[in-house]
Amino acid sequence: MDFLKDRFERRLNYVRISITDRCNYRCVYCMPEEGLQWIPHDRIMTYEEIVFLAQVLKGVGVEKIRFTGGEPLVRKGFFPFLDTFSTSVPGVRTVLTTNGSLIPQFIDEISRSGLSGVNVSLDTLDENLFRFITRGGRLQDVIEGVRLLSERTEIPIKINTVLMKGINDSEIKALLDFARSHRAVLRLIEFMPLDDSVWNKDLFIPTSDIMQRLPDPDRWEKLDNSSDHSAGPARYFRNSSTGQRLGLIEAVSHHFCDSCNRLRVSASGIMRPCLFSEEGVFLRPALLSGDAAEVKALILRAVSCKPGSYKQARSGAMHMSRIGG
């Protein structure tokens, strides 16, 4: 089996695939209030193309695929697609990132899905603030979604919280308690300046500031997660008295480029080697023609332009929902 390696000897074995750019929320840090112009359906990869792409990716050593969006659960046919995926691409682990709002509707399908992880985005436990941040979402749906995941499945759960100064940074204790009581790991994410229409520097707060404000600040010990492939870009801490784990994703203040093992594919079929770069390779024509050798060649081309760090990236950042956040 081949292994994908870039010019900097980083092994790339993890791919995030956005299966739709559409979303039922408009989070303030992700999309403008009026939403985005959705990509027409015929310019989105079909499920068959995604399966084919994953088969080629498996052949070059990819071990894990995250389905993300937009909101993956708004795309019709997602769970039948997952069934096909697991029989057609055996051995590749699948994980999901979701805003959680539709979990109650799909809990039976999720419990049978074979997913090896679900990340739920949840930024606040205050109903009004939740409605403000998501521009109209109902907190109860997500809380119920996390409860069902924790009680009706054994799938590992992570809760992703984008930290915003003066907005939700006072809720860390409440979010830690919520995560703990739902066997979930809380991960605090720095607000990333991805697009001018949503970026607000006044809301940025480095996760290092947060550490000092955690409950029992002296009890959080740093864990060495260098060999833990499910750790992703997070730095993990463990509370020495409760055993609870907490992850920090410091995309802005501590770039994790040295250990980056990922590629991203947008819903329209563009492979992007770096979140902070405008470089991208359009896979769709090769996917449509079913030419595996050409798809592999294009993947290698995308890998060859992966920058060593965000500092070398030719800036062209765009909305998370388009890139496959």
Contact call for residue 233 and ligand SAM (CB under 6 A)? no
121, 124, 266, 277: residue in contact with ligand SAM (rule CB under 6 A): 121
CA-angle at 15, arms to 49 and 118, nearest 5°: 100
Helix (H, G, I), strand (E, B) or coil at 207: helix
92, 102, 283, 320: residue in contact with ligand SAM (rule CB under 6 A): 320
CA–CA gap between residue 19 and residue 117 (Å, rounded): 17
44, 146, 194, 298: residue in contact with ligand SAM (rule CB under 6 A): 194
Q: Determine contact, residues 206/250, Cβ cutoff 8 Å.
A: yes
Contact call for residue 30 and ligand SAM (CB under 6 A)? yes
Q: How far is the CB of 242 from ligand SF4 (least distance, A)?
A: 29
Contact call for residue 139 and ligand SAM (CB under 6 A)? no
Stretch that binds ligand SAM, among 95-103, 177-185, 211-219, 310-318 (CB under 6 A): 95-103
Q: Based on C-alpha coordinates, what's the Rg of the chain? A: 19
Q: Residue 234 to residues 65, 109, 189, 237, 304: CA-CA distances in angstroms? A: 17, 29, 9, 10, 25
Q: Which of the residues 68 through 127 are near ligand SF4 (CB under 6 A)? A: 69-71, 99, 121
As to burial, measured by CB atoms within 10 angstroms (0-12 exposed, 13-18 middle, 19+ buried), residue 108 is exposed
Stretch that binds ligand SF4, among 18-26, 102-110, 212-220, 233-241 (CB under 6 A): 18-26
Residue window 200-229: x/- pattern of binding to ligand SAM, with contact defined by CB under 6 A: ------------------------------
Contact call for residue 20 and ligand SAM (CB under 6 A)? no
Instruction: Give the relative orientation of helices 78-88 and 103-111 as an angle to the nearest 10 degrees.
Output: 20
